[in-house]
Amino acid sequence: MEDAAAVQRGFLAGFVPDPSGPDQTWDAVAAEGETYPRLSTEFWTSKQRQAANLHEISYRACYKPQLPRHFIERLTRPGDRVYDPFSGRGTTALEAALLGRRVAANDVNPLSRMLAEPRLTPPEPAAVAERLESIPRSGTEDGLDLGMFFHPDTEAEIRGLRDWCLRRAASGELDELDTWIRMVATNRLTGHSPGFFSVYTLPPNQALTAEKQRQINAQRGQTPTYRDTHALILKKTKQLLSGLEPGQRQHLALAAQDARFLTADARETGTLMDGCIALTVTSPPFLDVVDYSGDNWLRCWFTGLDAEAIGRGISTPRTLEGWSETMAAVFAELHRLTKRGGFVAFEVGEIRRGKLRLDEVVLPLGLRAGFKAHGVLVNRQTFTKTAHIWGVGNNDKGTNSNRVVLFERT
């Protein structure tokens, strides 16, 4: 009879596209008096890296769709509910919906729902174009100086879009076309190419402060030029919908019928029933590495959200002890939500230049919550262009390694 370690190792091996491939490294992680296998390899080939264009919404600290797909395909069946308690841009929810699964998503930041939910009901470009014709190209001044980011005519159009969405939301008239346009416009506010509303700035997953943007403008000798916001929204809409197949649209429509989008603390999601989740795929905030509210101040302004209030509600402990305490409570809640035979794929990275591997911290937390651990999967990857802009080299500064701790509720 095989011992537990051999069974766990065999289970992890089932996640490798080519079990006989040579580029695999095994080691072990100790937790709660036991050892668990850790497998490092490339878990998706170049062909598997292809993903639906509908995912292409920028958001700080998000993982690629291939990660949740890898687990959804292996651990769930069509109709199962897949969950992410730290939803961000909604990668897990959208990928699950595209694969014919039911979805649940939570994020304490209400911006998350605004970015994720509209993509379950994608409109036709012609309908978007018609709605844009109804939206005024000017709006209310509020004293906020945005001239370092936008040409005056562009800013006027942004304010017109903002007024339209806020007014329609207040009157109860905000519909799926409006939420789609708001989602796309929110994503197009700032970036580093002419496809965005702003002058050149850092990658489009955050907004710099006004003063830092002035410094960039001075260094580059640039001034904001006019961008046709309506045309750019329509262009991005067509890009997002490009390649979307009829079967995928059907899956999205089915998922939208009973999708659950929560804006709550991940430790307290009482509106979700016990045992309703077949699989959780998530990535929590990493200590104090990312300033979620600070990065999203301009998006919050555009959508009428209070960035400071959101920042106070987002848990970003600055010590390992505080982070572990928060994650322990999250695991207790996940144990309540996960059905017997269901799984949790908990993705974390490396921080402090790789000296702290959070998978080794997470493993005992899940065990103490009552889960069975299968081990850790570490995806080796070549880092992205965006990462190099930030000065993060491959396998160097740390959130570039996908370290997924895999648990099961037995």
Q: Where are the domains of the chain?
A: 1-40, 44-113+245-294+319-352+403-410, 125-240
pLDDT reported for residue 395: 44
Q: Mention every residue, 6+ apart, whose C-beta is less than 8 A from residue 13.
A: 19, 39
pLDDT reported for residue 387: 40
Q: What is the DSSP letter of 31?
A: E
Q: Averaged over 190-208, what is the pLDDT?
A: 87
pLDDT reported for residue 355: 72
Angle between helices 176-188 and 152-171 (to 10 degrees): 150
Residue 79, both tokens: 């109709």
Q: Minimal CA–CA distance to 88: which of 121, 43, 55, 52?
A: 55
Give the three-class secondary structure for 198.
coil
Q: Which helix (H) or strand (E) holds 102?
A: strand 102-106
Answer whether residue 382 shows pLDDT above 60: no
Q: What's the rounded Cα separation, in Å, for the pair 19 and 39?
A: 11
pLDDT reported for residue 399: 43
User: Which of 55-59, 159-163, 286-290, 314-318 shows the lowest mean pLDDT across its residues?
Assistant: 286-290
Assess contact for 227 and 151: CB atoms under 8 A: yes
| Percent helix / strand / coil, the chain, rounded to 5 | 45, 15, 40
Report the CATH number of the 44-113+245-294+319-352+403-410 domain: 3.40.50.150
Query: 285 falls in which pLDDT band (50, 70, 90)?
Result: confident
Q: What's the rounded Cα separation, in Å, for the pair 161 and 182?
A: 8
Kindly tell me the sign of the dihedral angle through the C-alpha atoms of 182, 184, 187, 193: negative
Residue 372, both tokens: 């069975």
Q: What's the rounded Cα separation, in Å, for the pair 381 and 338?
A: 30
Assess contact for 286 and 358: CB atoms under 8 A: yes
Question: pTM of the prediction?
Answer: 0.92
Q: What angle do CA 119, 121, 124 make, to 5 degrees?
A: 100
User: Which of 36-40, 58-62, 174-178, 297-301 shows the lowest mean pLDDT across its residues?
Assistant: 58-62
pLDDT reported for residue 389: 35
Assess contact for 306 and 346: CB atoms under 8 A: no
**pLDDT top residue among 20 and 323:** 323
Q: Please, which residues bridge with residue 277 across strands?
A: 338
Q: Minimal CA–CA distance to 375: which of 19, 28, 18, 3?
A: 28
Kindly list the distances between the CA atom of residue 22 and the CA atoms of 40, 47, 48, 235, 381, in Å, as whole numbers in the listed order: 11, 19, 19, 44, 16
Q: What's the rounded Cα separation, in Å, for the pair 10 and 171?
A: 57
Q: What's the rounded Cα separation, in Å, for the pair 24 and 20?
A: 9
Give the three-class secondary structure for 84.
strand
Question: For 119, how many CA atoms within 13 A lie in the half-sphere containing its CB?
Answer: 33
Q: What angle do CA 103, 106, 112 make, to 5 degrees?
A: 100
Q: Please, which residues bridge with residue 106 across strands?
A: 262
Q: Mention every residue, 6+ apart, whose C-beta is less than 8 A from residue 173.
A: none
Q: What is the DSSP letter of 42?
A: -
User: Which of 11-20, 227-236, 308-317 shows the lowest mean pLDDT across its residues?
Assistant: 308-317
Q: Look at the chain and count its residues.
A: 410
Answer whether residue 403 shows pLDDT above 50: yes
